[in-house]
Structure 1
Amino acid sequence: MLLHEQYQEHVNQEKTLLWEIHACLLKTGADQGDLAKIKDVIDGLDELFLLVIVGEFNSGKSAFVNTLLGQKILEEGPTPTTDLINILKHGDEAGSRVLDNLRVTRFPLELLKTVNIVDTPGTNSILKEHDELTLNFIPKADFVIFVISADRPLSDSEREFLEIVSIKWKRKVLFLLNKIDTKSAKDVEIILEYLRRETAKILGIEPQIFPISVLQAYEAITTNNQKLLEISRFEALEQYLDEALNEGERVRLKLLNPVNIVQPICLSEQKELRQKLDVVAEDRRKLQQIDKQLAYTRDDLKENYSRFLLRVENILLDLRNRAYDFVDDFLQLRNIWDITSKEKAQQQFHEQVVKDSSEQIEDVLTEAADWLVKKSMRVWDETLESYKQQLNPNVYRGKVLGEIGGQFVYDRDKIYQGVIRDARSKIKEFNYQQESQNILKTFQNALIHFAAAEVGALGIGAILISVLSGLFLDITGFFAATTIAAAGLFILPRKRKQAKEQFNGRIQALIAELKGNVEREFDDYMENTLAQIKDTISPVDRFCRAEQEELEQGQQELVGLLAKLEQFQRSINMK
């Protein structure tokens, strides 16, 4: 068993929590590399305590391990001798084999029954893959010993490596200043002070540094030279390690290290979820803006379209006024014989009153149809441009989406590109001339009743015929009773008034009917156009709604899991 039974409950509790976090991050679309790290730390809980030795080549890493174990197990030398991660494990017999770029060395030592020791390639190795091997193995470490040579204390590569170990992976680091036997006591103190100051800048805390001479310590241990052991200052280090790495402390570090790895991953994912929600919120704001713009466009078009209806109304009112003038001029006693001729009256009425009114109205409606088509095309173009802006890296993506990625960005781009593609297709298929003719054809339905006004019983011309027919009967009756002068005195004024009233009523009815029909056709066309645009952009709306719901659920779940992780961390630190 890895740990004493009293600690196993904590291990099981942590595993359960970490698997919950893994499941949550899997749903939120976290980076696959981060998910793999979480699985690694879960698996690592079942492994022995991992003590990892790092430092530049020739700093004395392998020599330190040999001294700690009391015998030469690892190869030493002034040039890079460790070309692979070397893991020391307990074994009944000594032996070594290479497996998956790892050298596993087994040795029958009591210490190795509870601790695995890892010797890494130098951080300044001439082979780049050595650095990568070391960096990839650091997250698995439970405790890190950083060996620094007094010959070149805290080189640039050591500074960079230390930042990764302590800041990114938040590992507890113990520093060993090796080869103090090559420096004077005064120089050692100067180097120690320098290391304390510089490492504190990187770590943010006072570092624990042990000055030692591994060379002297190994000789003292193997020759049982107590005086030389004191000179090497190795005993103080051994005492510290015995206390710092007792079973209780090893368990605490073993349990805390996964927290130190997973917590930053969770916080990073939480930040990314917020950024994704910001993107979705911005997209939804743009959708609402587009929706408002479409509503505004509809109202604006309707308001501007009234000028065409006003022109049609003016044409009809001019016709009515000409009809008034005609009635005043035609229904005079001097025209008494023309009045009694329906055909002659109707001919003059058409020539002087109706004239080309139908053509004038049709010209206005033709102009209106062209205007409406142009406005519709402009709405399509503006909507398309808005969505192109949403994907413009210089305007938007670089500010927000540049910081996040993964499936979310892929799905979002796919949706937007689909909308843009669909909109472009509709615009490309849009036949301006045909569309204008279609609109005009629907408008022409509104002219049917007006065209019938010249010949139909309910038309404008029919009003005159009806008035004249009654007038003819009235005049005939007067001829029988009295003189023709009575027609001018009693009949014609009344008929003129009657004709004007009927003309005005019919014209007002025509105006209302024509405006109603044209407005209805206009509204139908605009609503159909706006519905097509909304249908085209609806995938974005559905995507935003679904993503917002999922992201908010993931964020809420992650907040709860982070709270549990922090509570677990506090409980472990209190033990």
Structure 2
Amino acid sequence: MSDTPALPPDRILSGREEEMRQRAAGIVEELARTIRQFPAEAEDLDLLRDAAERLGALFLLVIAGEFNSGKSAVVNALLNDTVMPEGVTPTTSAIHILRYGPSTNEVVGIDGIVEHTYPADFLRDVNLVDTPGTNAIIREHEALSQRFVPRADLVLFVTSADRPFTESERQFMTEIRGWGKKIVVVLNKIDLLRNDEEIAEVIEFIRTNSVRLLGLEPQIFPVSARLAREAQTSEAPEERERLWAASRFGALEEFILSTLDEQTRIRLKLLNPLGIADRVGGRYRAIAAERLDLLDRDLQTIERIEQRIAVFESEMRADFTAYLSRIEAIVYRMNERADRFFDRTIRLGRVFDLLDRERIQREFEQEVIADTEQQIDAAVAEMIDWMVERDLRLWQSVTEYIDRRQLDRHQDEVVGESGAQFTYDRQALLGAVARRAGEVVEQFDPGREAQVIAEALRGAVTQTAVAEVGAIGLGAAVIALATTAAMDVTGILAAVTVGGLGLLILPARKRHARELLRRRSVELRERLAEALSDQFDREVRRSTARVRDALSPYATFVRTERDRFQRLAQALEAVDADITELRRVLEG
């Protein structure tokens, strides 16, 4: 059974009213389109759809308040008939909708809503809803009442003079106010108060607390629905007049039947979807803000990790230069010893010694090579250990950053369940990075890592320098090249000397030998530096690439979602601006 009947055919909106109606409908539709991208809760979409549909429905006046506040009595007094049941217990246990009909009738819908028809003229333009008490014992009735409030174009809130503005009433009125509804307060049962001073005191109490707690000053009608019904049923004119005056019901009746004219009803009806849109839009603006705050902190974490990678690369390069200089210095000192060796060995006094190539080679190895091989291997091993340790520290820092982000998981639940897929995806990707970092740290084998790097370094150097040396140590590869170069030089000098030309050309040949060795030394150092640098660069790229590969899906998600929620936040702000502007026009 529909509870949103269309306007009767003779109700035609003016051109301006139709324009305002279309603007309101457009705002609601745009908001619905926007929040679907979160995605939206089905309940919120239903509220917006219902709000748009109700723009073409009759004015909806909702009666709310605690049970035994006299809501049903107020309705009966407005109808001048006993239509709704009254009593001291919660007699209204369901939603009751009163509509115009040529005769009195009552039908219970499949949703438990009771529909009444009654031949009261004001019901031609207004649907009246009587709700269960806000403090009803049966809690589902209260929930039904609260779900119905968003549909109201005007809320008539009934409070009892003997317990005005109770805590449950304040909470319920706050809920109503949150939907942007216009609230009119009916202070019923004023006949329980002793005089006008007490009535005025209660009215002031309600007004003061409404302003203080709700930020609004509602219109307040003090009435006695009981005296009004007694006046309506009294057969004595004087008694009827006295009771009616004492009931003060005339002012409320005038408001409902006359002051609440067509123009006012249309204005309130157009404001109704704006209130709903404001409420729903505000919720999703909060969701977007929470998501953006979370994503901004995620992005900061990613940026910190990127900064940590940049620092890692910078520090690695700076420290590598020191290691490279240390290794080059070892080769340089070996070359200095070689210079001294040639000065002492290649001279006329040792001409016959130069004929003994094996002896010269032994002396060269003892005096020039010495422990150069061990020094180079030790320096390279130390460099490798340093690279392995720094790689581990990089992963440990990533683990620490991600662990701190995982502590923020509770933030995902702050804004409700909208975007549950977002929460799931983010946590899954964050967890994937955490697991990857944890696995690397837990399974990190320094010995194995060092061996991989050492083999790669040795291979790079031997391929660059002396491919024939095979799988030997890095220092041995360097020494092999140096020794080969030195022996070539001594062999040439020996041949020249034996040829009898030593007295004439030995000094020149010695200079030539020194220059040749120095060129070979420079070539050796350059080849060694190039090989080490290339392999070092590959290792640094490998280390950072592994971190970035692990981080990449999470980083892509964060940046993509941040851009998406920024667009959604901007769209929601635009809708909010449209709501504010249209509300200003309607209320101006």
Q: Same fold (TM over 0.5)?
A: yes
For residue 172 of structure 1, the aligned residue among 144, 162, 182 is 182
> Which residue is 1:435 aligned to?
449
Alignment of 1:2-151 (within 5 A): 2=7, 4-6=11-13, 7-8=17-18, 10-93=20-103, 94-151=105-162
Number of corresponding residues: 558
Matches of 2:84 and 2:376, distance apart in 1? 102
Q: Distance in 1 between matches of 2:478 and 2:222?
A: 112
1:381 equivalenced with 2:400 (yes/no): no
Please give the residue correspondences for 1:74-473 in structure 2 after superposition, counting only pairs within 5 Å.
74-93=84-103, 94-166=105-177, 168-185=178-195, 186-223=197-234, 225-393=240-408, 402=414, 406-407=418-419, 408-427=422-441, 430-445=444-459, 446-447=461-462, 448-449=465-466, 451=477, 454=480, 459-473=485-499
Task: Tell me the equivalent position of 1:484.
Answer: none
Pick from 578, 584, 588: which aligns with 1:564?
Answer: 578
Deviations 1:240-298 (A, max 9, x none): 22233212211111110110121132234234324433433343343333223212211
Q: Give the letter aligned to residue 121 of structure 1.
A: P
User: How far 1:73 moved relative to its partner?
Assistant: 0.9
- Secondary structure (helix, strand or coil) at the match of 1:126 reads coil
In structure 1, distance between residues paired with 2:307 and 2:34: 37
Matched to 2:159, the amino acid is: I
Deviations 1:514-543 (A, max 9, x none): 111111111111112212221221112322
Asked if 2 retains the 8 angstrom alpha-carbon contact of 1:67 and 1:217, the reply is yes
Task: Describe the SS at the equivalent of 1:116.
Answer: strand
Whether the aligned pair in 1 keeps the contact of 2:94 and 2:131 (CA below 8 Å) is yes
Go from structure 1 to structure 2 and tell me whether the alpha carbon gap of 1:92 and 1:211 turns closer, same or farther (over 3 Å shift). same
Offset at residue 116 of structure 1 (A):
1.6
1:146-195 deviations in whole A, cap 9, x for unaligned?
A: 212222222222222222222x1222121222222222213223222322
Per-residue deviation, 1:217:
0.7
CA apart distance, 1:81: 0.8
Q: Which amino acid aligns with 1:84?
A: A
State how far apart, in whole Å, the 1-side matches of 2:329 and 2:119 are: 110
Contact 2:299 2:555 survives alignment (8 Å): yes
CA distance, structure 2, for counterparts of residue 461 and residue 65 of structure 1: 119
Question: SS where residue 36 of structure 1 aligns?
Answer: helix
Q: For the Cα contact (< 8 Å) 2:412–2:423, is it kept in 1?
A: no
Following TM superposition, by how much is the alpha carbon of 1:332 offset from its aligned partner in structure 2, in angstroms? 4.0
More moved, 519-528 vs 495-504: 495-504
How far is the alpha carbon of 1:402 from its aligned partner? 4.2
1:515 to 529, 540, 543: 529
TM-score by length of 1: 0.89
Q: Deviations over 1:190-213 (max 9, x none)?
A: 222322222232333433222211
Corresponding position of 2:540 = 526
- Paired with 1:316 and 1:102, the residues of 2 have a C-alpha distance of 96
8 Å CA contact 2:271–2:586 kept in 1: the answer is yes
Whether the 8 Å CA contact 1:453–1:460 is kept in 2: the answer is no
Structure 1: how far apart are the matches of 2:73 and 2:52?
Answer: 32
CA distance in structure 1 between the partners assigned to 2:428 and 2:501 by the alignment: 86
In structure 2, the CA distance between the partners of 1:196 and 1:560, relative to structure 1 (3 Å rule), is closer
- Kept after mapping to 1: 8 A contact 2:299/2:558: yes
Cα shift at 1:494: 4.1
Q: Is the 8 A contact 2:485 2:517 kept in 1?
A: no
Whether contact under 8 Å (1:89, 1:113) holds in the other structure is yes
Q: Which amino acid aligns with 1:532?
A: R
Amino acid aligned to 1:126: I
| Structure 2, gaps ≥5 residues long | 1-5, 467-475
Counterparts of 2:498 and 2:482 in 1: how far apart (Å)? Answer: 20
> Secondary structure of 1:82's match?
coil
Instruction: Name which of 492, 495, 499 aligns with 2:513.
Output: 499
Which moves more between the two structures, 433-442 or 357-366?
357-366
Distance verdict in 2 for CA 1:458–1:270, change over 3 Å: same
SS of residue in 2 equivalent to 1:459: helix
Looking at structure 2, the residues matched to 546 and 364 of structure 1 have their Cα atoms a distance apart, in angstroms, of 46
Please give the per-residue CA displacement for 1:438-487, whole angstroms capped at 9, x wherever unaligned.
211122131553637648996233222222222222xx246xxxxxxxx4
Q: Is the 8 A contact 1:54 1:146 kept in 2?
A: yes
1:267 to 1:80, Cα distance in 2 relative to 1, 3 A: closer
Preserved contact between residue 362 and residue 444 of structure 1 (Cα < 8 Å): no
The range that moved more, 226-235 or 127-136, is: 127-136
State the one-letter code of the partner of 1:441.
Answer: E
Q: Residues 469 and 386 of structure 1: is their aligned pair in 2 closer, same or farther, counting only changes over 3 Å?
A: farther
Which structure 1 segments of 5+ residues have no match?
479-486
The two structures have a TM-score, normalised by structure 2, of 0.87
- Give distance in 2, aligned partners of 1:460 and 1:36: 90
Q: Measure the CA separation in 1 of the matches of 2:300 and 2:106.
A: 66
CA deviations 1:329-367 (Å, max 9, x no partner) are 323443232122223222322232223423332232222
Residue 469 of structure 2: aligned partner: none
Q: Answer with 521-530 or 539-548: which moved more.
A: 539-548
SS at match of 2:37: helix
Distance 1:121 1:96 in 2: 17
> Which is worse superposed, 404-413 or 11-20?
404-413
RMSD of equivalent CA atoms: 2.6
Checking the alignment, whether the CA contact within 8 Å between 1:454 and 1:462 is kept in structure 2 is no
The Cα of 1:46 is off from its aligned counterpart by 3.5
Q: What do the CA deviations read for 1:481-526 (whole angstroms, capped 9, x no partner)?
A: xxxxxx4xx5554444333333222222211111111111111111
Conserved? CA contact 1:275–1:404, under 8 Å: no
CA distance in 1, matches of 2:413, 2:234: 65
CA separation in 2, counterparts of 1:556 and 1:452? 65
2:190–2:222 Cα contact (<8 Å) kept: yes
Alpha-carbon distance change, 460 to 31 in structure 1, aligned in 2, over 3 angstroms: farther
Q: Distance in 2 between matches of 1:339 and 1:10?
A: 111
For 2:555, which of 541, 547, 552 is the aligned residue?
541
Moved more, 398-407 or 527-536: 398-407
Q: Secondary structure at the match of 1:146?
A: strand
Could you tell me how far apart the structure 1 residues matched to 2:329 and 2:481 are? Answer: 22
> Against the structure 1 CA distance between its residues 405 and 305, is the aligned structure 2 distance closer, same or farther, given a 3 Å change threshold?
farther
CA distance in 2, matches of 1:573, 1:325: 102
Residue 482 of structure 2 contacts residue 521 of structure 2 at CA under 8 Å; is this kept in 1?
A: no
SS in 2 for 1:74: coil
Query: Which range is displaced more, 314-323 or 521-530?
Result: 314-323
Residue 568 and residue 191 in structure 1: after superposition, are their counterparts in 2 closer, same or farther (change >3 A)?
closer
SS in 2 for 1:174: strand
